[in-house]
Structure 1
């Protein structure tokens, strides 16, 4: 285990974040690495009357105590798990804190409630911004009480916390030929090897008529030939990624459709979806790419986002 082989978990005391803690513990056991829990808090400031436009900061003692209580609950939850656990509170924006700490981690895990409407579109600032800017892969764990339908989940205001975490037995990874997708494929192979999971690589080609993005192709173009060409390219990419993993078997599927829709559909039948994203800066990076963004919004299972920043070697943690 290297200095960077630690799972960083953002917690805030919500059922969704505690569910993410459970998932992270299962991951840490499989990979034999420790967990570092982080709870951040932001100290609000208010305009101070008569101080020439200055600001008076609220005493952060109570906030720090609350964050410490959240960590204590999460640590108690992991007692007896067999996983080494450390924790720390941090003052600052949660997403910014986790992005900074991700430089010394091998994985960051956060939860999301995945509610409907505008809240679902944004996922919350942490689970939306973090995957785009983290320096290691990020896993976003959707929270749903056992046996609960999507409609029921969206109508809940208070959810019971479930402790059961299903093992990762089936993984699907989206492959589109981009550098970030190849990194996602490489990481998916590592995960499949660690979990002993079945791995399926999916390439989506919207060549069909109707809403297909390539429906404008001339009628003379052989759509089946397009699919065959993509399948050959997928084989090349997968075979190259398997060079150092000869015992891993990867199923390959080239399907007519939109990548985000297909991966979201797969998420109802698998235990983890792995996607790549360019992780660019600025507003484009904040929202990720269209595919990874859409999958994060609607996936029924945990989603691992791998960006090109993961090429950087992890630095020594400073917690």
Structure 2
């Protein structure tokens, strides 16, 4: 079963979910945690003709055995890493099962664009339900087709001028880089963004990673919050105001983390577009969910969903439900 010292991983036998398990194992090693693998299945019931309106239920023995086989494969892939690995077969909707189990987990990790099971649906119902409702942060590992899994494969983003070349050290999976050396977090001053920022700072400390905080201001990049403003409005002044707000939020968040340095960027564009672009040159994107308000109300809301759909690197979604490292769990 999951515990507060466990990384919960959803697996379904797809390569995407095995990638997620490998990433979760590396994360667990870095943070001194165990790994709990879960494979879910649902067997439909149907009305049987001639049974006077009664219902018959399919025998789930074979399905459960198949799910156990998936878990055995995933456990074998994680063998020899010195980790405590446990597993469980659960019946029911994948998102609902993982949300419930997340109550006692430190982190939930799932893969995207897998074939079959919940991984295939991750960018649909699971991506909406799990990150938004989990009781701990959720990490979504993007699936990269094998043809893109080549040594030296480069995914360059337009903002490399700010972050330099992407970390290319291989990790125990196929398509992502570990250890985490570069993290970017979206900040807009909302409560959700502040929780995400706190978690990003914790991760930067744990990994010894470079952290960049990005505030997005859609001044000229297409239709946006400021595009309709009269010409007399000084857009540069707006950017300065947002930068001052970003400094206030960061200075407060860093009071208990004197050894963490955060690069601060206020850029023209939308939060979703900027974080997706940064995902090509960093190892982890951290974003809050359901953010509203803040010093400009500029970033969150649907941003987390958009980033999940298009990110090139793992995305950690942190909601105000999620426990920030060091917080008393009884307060959540």
Alignment TM-score > 0.5, same fold: yes
TM-score band, normalised by shorter chain: 0.7 to 0.9
* Partner residue, 1:25: 25
1:58-94 Cα distance to aligned partner (Å, 9 max, x none): 1111011001100000000000012110111111111
* Partner residue, 2:153: none
Residues 167 and 240 of structure 1: is their aligned pair in 2 closer, same or farther, counting only changes over 3 Å? Answer: same
* Partner residue, 1:133: 133
Counterpart contact for 1:184–1:276, Cα < 8 Å:
yes
Residues 187 and 105 of structure 1: is their aligned pair in 2 closer, same or farther, counting only changes over 3 Å? Answer: same
* Partner residue, 1:84: 84
**TM (normalized to structure 1)?**
0.86
Where does the alignment leave 5 or more consecutive residues of structure 1 unmatched? Answer: 150-160, 281-287
RMSD: 2.5
* Partner residue, 1:53: 53
Counterpart contact for 1:45–1:56, Cα < 8 Å:
yes
* Partner residue, 2:184: 172
Distance in 1 between residues matched to 2:262 and 2:16, nearest whole Å = 32
Shift of 1:145: 4.3
* Partner residue, 1:157: none
Where does the alignment leave 5 or more consecutive residues of structure 2 unmatched? Answer: 150-172, 293-299
Give the count of matched residue pairs: 293
* Partner residue, 1:269: 281
Q: 2:208 pairs with 183, 196, 209, which one?
A: 196
Q: What aligned pairs does 1:1-319 form with structure 2 within 5 A after superposition?
A: 3-113=3-113, 123-145=123-145, 148=148, 162=174, 165-208=177-220, 210-278=222-290, 289-311=301-323, 314=329
1:116-164 Cα distance to aligned partner (Å, 9 max, x none): xxx9997143233210111110000001146618xxxxxxxxxxx8387
Residues 314 and 52 of structure 1: is their aligned pair in 2 closer, same or farther, counting only changes over 3 Å? Answer: farther
Distance in 1 between residues matched to 2:231 and 2:121, nearest whole Å = 37
Distance in 1 between residues matched to 2:185 and 2:26, nearest whole Å = 20
Look up the SS of the partner of 1:113 in the other structure.
Answer: coil
Look up the SS of the partner of 1:123 in the other structure.
Answer: helix
Residues 106 and 203 of structure 1: is their aligned pair in 2 closer, same or farther, counting only changes over 3 Å? Answer: same
Question: Which segment drifts farther, 48-57 or 242-251?
Answer: 48-57
Shift of 1:6: 1.0
Look up the SS of the partner of 2:321 in the other structure.
Answer: helix
Shift of 1:208: 2.0
Distance in 2 between residues matched to 1:273 and 1:86, nearest whole Å = 28
Counterpart contact for 2:221–2:268, Cα < 8 Å:
no
Residues 42 and 267 of structure 1: is their aligned pair in 2 closer, same or farther, counting only changes over 3 Å? Answer: same
Counterpart contact for 1:104–1:314, Cα < 8 Å:
no
Residues 265 and 61 of structure 1: is their aligned pair in 2 closer, same or farther, counting only changes over 3 Å? Answer: same
Shift of 1:51: 2.1
